[in-house]
Structure 1
Amino acid sequence: MTDSTPGPYGTQADAPATRATRRNMLFGAAAVSAGALLSACTSNQRGDASAGATQQQAGGADDRPGKKVTIGFAGPQADHGWLNAINQNARNRAKRYRDVTLDITEGSNDTAQQIGQIETLINKRVDVLVVLPADGKALTQVGLKAMRAGIPVVNLDRVFASPQAYRCWIGGDNYGMGLNAGRYIGEQLKDKPDAKVVELAGIDTLELTRERTRGFDDALKNYPNIRKVGRQAAEFTVESGQAKMAGLLQAHPSFDALWNHDDDQGVGAERAIDQAGRDGFLMVGGAGSRRVMETIKAGNSVLKATVLYPPTMSASAVDLARALAQGRGLPGTAELEIPASVTLYSAVVTKDNVDDYLPTGFN
């Protein structure tokens, strides 16, 4: 498997142009809708802006009726909880607007089939396209085709190999996800001598997994009392999570914290923990499923937090697409145009703030 092979979510490093230095610009609290917080920037590189994204119910986009627009939406097959939430968030957001018609494809993990679905939308002459590619590199040409046809493209999360293939990119921050997981664990263990942590990663051949690990390791460097003593790479599935977590538990009779990259594979990890009868450590999840948030709220598990990779990004992508088609800028910004790049913030959800984020949890 190569870096261009799609994972369940996350931006893959398909293009050197996407590896720009971040200039994080956060506006407002993380619990506010991403539509109100999209930061303006001046280049088409991924890392030029970031914004909080949690509650799409909170509003923030320009609700004033404008010209009627048709948004074509094409994503991969919804075979993972996060991807299903991506589709549902887009549908729900489009229903909010009387001036928006959403033409959504069935989705496919087969690149040729997804290209065909996007070409159908191009031939229908939709006003704007939102595309979460199954493989960013493989779908770059169809993005270029849409742009040449005068149909602006909002590239959602998995980035195309050329910035000319999209007008705007919006997606998550995998490095920031790992960084915030590491910071949370570090603060919980900062007073414990010789603290030990383990990591249950995702698919190691994916750049998104390596970015999450890099952020996690960088955060732990600030806590000299903490050592990462074990790491296993799973495959974003329940079965792999259970098998790999069982291996970590067997190899490490004691540790103080676990970071799991993905809440879906975390279902399996929790099964392995229960079967082994283990506790005495804290667990941090990744992505933000509703099940995990409810477990955190109940407070009766080793699972104490999860780091968001917000599927509400698709709702914000609909906001961006609507603004593009109607020639609008975004509320809260001085610019007349929408930004070229928006990076969402990976908030840490704990028992203290879980009620704020529960509405965004995916099944």
Structure 2
Amino acid sequence: MSRRNILFGGAAVSAGALLAGCTSNDPKQAAGDATVPVAAGSSSPGKAITVGFSAPAADHGWMAAISTNAKAAAKRFPEVTFKAVEAGADATAQRAALETLIQAKPDVIVVLPYDGAQLTATGRKAMEAGIPVVNLDRAFSDELAFRLLLKGDNYGMGVAAGHFIGDRLKAAGVSNPVIAEIPGIDSLPLTQDRSKGFKDALAGYGFSVKHRVAAQFTIDSGQQAAANLLQAAPKLDALWNHDDDQGVGVLAAINQAGRKEFFMVGGAGSAKVMQQIQADNTVLKATVTYSPSMSASAVALARLVANGRGMADLAELAIPKEIRLSSETVTKENAADYLPLGF
């Protein structure tokens, strides 16, 4: 597991020390001084629990890593029995699988839904049955449908990519750059959030996207979208590709066209992309993370929820309602640190 087990820098799941209450500098605290109640340590085993789990089929490298990381995280805790159910091919099939899981009455359920809105009622049914739900990544549309929402930062991905590109172009003295963007499926809110973050960050430098062609989160679609974009743009200064899986096709198209005058930023943080960034022998110079290690974090937090525990480094006694993970920028200088988190 190595760095996958860091989970919020280690504080969320492995800190055993209690957070100190309000103290004075005097060893003899004045009478009446208040102390802050703190959560119990989270590293020691709790009661035996069953963690139910459901995520879409592994038809994408990132999604495959979601299930793999969740299962690996559960093995770290001797009191956890991990019960995964097949999600099927769509939201309807996943709903049926979750209905069966709810009937089995696990102590907590971790679910990455095909579609948050379509599965909201199922999440709420589990909650009403007394089963806490950890909603992973794709949010339900009703807060009564989950105990904890743990998600990545799609808007933040765009911001991180925009800042890397903006800073690099400014440092190079490029005043009117030609910037391109290859998003994933444009109809998805996550794509829209990523593009908005990118646009907003670039605006801070006085820059904007000049060429944009959407793909479909697949290698073939990435290659086709990139080929079309390169034909339309005889010169580029920078390119952001939203997804490292489709980026395999994007790089193939770039290599076929023999284009080297620009630099590229990826998205999500695949291991292959991080290795290419380390090697520094392509136009790919960075990627911004949307790490599937979030599912490991979700299982670790689900364990605490089921045992009525909080996060030991927080004063609050219970797990927060929502946690949004930051998108981090991986470059040649820090790729070795992030590589164990790649998918």
Unpaired runs of 5+ in structure 1?
A: 1-30, 40-60
Matches within 5 A, 1:68-79: 68-79=48-59
Matches within 5 A, 1:271-282: 271-282=252-263
**Residue type at the aligned position of 1:182:** G
C-alpha distance in structure 2 between counterparts of 1:161 and 1:210, whole Å: 17
Displacement of 1:243 after TM fit? Answer: 0.5
Calculate percent identity across the aligned residue pairs: 54
Q: Secondary structure at the match of 1:147?
A: helix
Matches within 5 A, 1:301-316: 301-316=282-297
Note the aligned Cα RMSD (angstroms): 1.6
Displacement of 1:37 after TM fit? Answer: 4.9
Q: Figure out how many residues of one structure are paired with residues of the other and give that number.
A: 311
The residue aligned with 1:328 is 309
The residue aligned with 1:158 is 138
With structure 2 as the length reference, what TM-score do the two structures score?
A: 0.88
The residue aligned with 1:196 is 178
Unpaired runs of 5+ in structure 2?
A: 14-40
Displacement of 1:78 after TM fit? Answer: 1.1
Displacement of 1:32 after TM fit? Answer: 4.9
Q: Secondary structure at the match of 2:178?
A: strand
C-alpha distance in structure 2 between counterparts of 1:37 and 1:247, whole Å: 46
Please say if residues 175 and 214 of structure 1, whose CA atoms lie closer than 8 Å, have aligned partners that are also in contact: yes
The residue aligned with 2:7 is 33
**Residue type at the aligned position of 2:174:** K
**Is 1:80–2:85 an aligned residue pair?**
no
Displacement of 1:36 after TM fit? Answer: 3.6
Matches within 5 A, 1:180-329: 180-190=160-170, 191-224=173-206, 226-329=207-310
The residue aligned with 1:171 is 151
Please say if residues 54 and 113 of structure 2, whose CA atoms lie closer than 8 Å, have aligned partners that are also in contact: yes
C-alpha distance in structure 2 between counterparts of 1:112 and 1:212, whole Å: 27
Displacement of 1:194 after TM fit? Answer: 1.7
Displacement of 1:33 after TM fit? Answer: 2.6
The residue aligned with 2:18 is none
Any runs of at least 4 consecutive aligned residues in structure 1 with deviations exceeding 2 A, and if so which? 35-39, 106-109
Which residue of 84, 104, 107 maps to 1:104? 84
Displacement of 1:317 after TM fit? Answer: 0.5
The residue aligned with 2:96 is 116
Q: Secondary structure at the match of 1:305?
A: strand
With structure 1 as the length reference, what TM-score do the two structures score?
A: 0.83
**Is 1:139–2:119 an aligned residue pair?**
yes
For 1:230-257, what per-residue CA distance to the aligned partner results, in whole angstroms no more than 9, with x for missing partners?
A: 0011110111100010011001111110
Q: Which of 1 and 2 has greater Rg?
A: 2
C-alpha distance in structure 1 between counterparts of 2:332 and 2:124, whole Å: 45
